[in-house]
Structures are given as structure tokens and as C-alpha cells.
Homo-oligomer: A and B are copies of this chain.
Amino acid sequence: MKPTTSSSASHQRTRKDHATEAAEDYVEAIDDILSAKGECRVDDLRKHFSVSHVTVSRILARLQREGLVRKEAYRPVSLTKKGKRLADQSRERHQIVLEFLKKLGVSAEVAEMDAEGIEHHVSEETLEVMRRFNTK
């Protein structure tokens, strides 16, 4: 049963997934918070992720450099078009994975916990398989 793919390719893929993880989770959270309460502050994200406001602030600076987010000092955060697009994609994938786990028989609480990590490692092919499973 030798691997069809070299192990190194899988580990490289995983490292790449992790490199985009923060961006995906942040734009998704920002978009959700914007929908829920009209504006998104550093402090909202601090609570959402259970990290210090400093961590939030520095990640937002990076996302701004990458053109996903707009942010002026002491002002709320907003998403660029690119950021909104990534948020929508991320949310959709998140939902599919979550729904999949629940349909599979995992409890809602545990499904929510697991989905938050799993989502970043699901390829298009696997996502499609999950989509079909969900509608079956």
C-alpha cells in the first residue's frame, strides 16, 4: 500500500493551508459581525477569537497589506471586494463541512469544533463529495 503521492507533497499542501487560515477565518468573522451588528471593531474580533486585541490588530495590519481589509486607526474594520469574496467562499466551505459532519452523525457541538480546523484542509474534490453527501 505505498502512497500514490509523495508524503512531502501532502505536508507542503498542509503548510500552505495554514498560511491562509488566519485570513480566511478573519474575513469570515468580520463579514459575520458586520451582518450581525453593522460594524466590526477590533474588540469584536478579540472576543470572537479569544485572543488579545494586540494579536487582532497585527493580523488586521497584515490583511490590509494583502488587500483584504480596510482599517484606519480607532475606526471599525471593513472588507474590500477581494476580502468579501474570500469571506463568502470561506463561509460556504465552512457551512458545507459543518453540515457534512452533522449529517454524518457527529453532534452539533463537536461538529462545530472540528469544522473550524478541518475546513482549511478540504480540497475542491473533497468539498464536492461532501456537497453531494449533504444533499443525499
Contacts and interface: CB of A to CB of B under 8 A. Distances in A.
A72 interface: no
A35 interface: no
B113 A10 contact: yes
A108 B8 contact: no
A122 B116 contact: no
Contacts of A81: none
Given A101-B126, A117-B17, A25 B5 contact: no
Q: How large is the interface on A (under 10, 10 to 19, 20 to 34, 35 or more residues)?
A: 35 or more
Contact of A5 (B13, B18, B109): B109
Q: How many copies does the complex hold?
A: 2
A31 to B, nearest CB: 13
Interface in A35-65: 47-50
Given A106-B126, A106-B129, A107-B125, A9 B48 contact: no
Interface of A: 3-5, 7-14, 17-18, 25, 29, 47-50, 101, 104-118, 120-123, 125-126, 129-130, 133
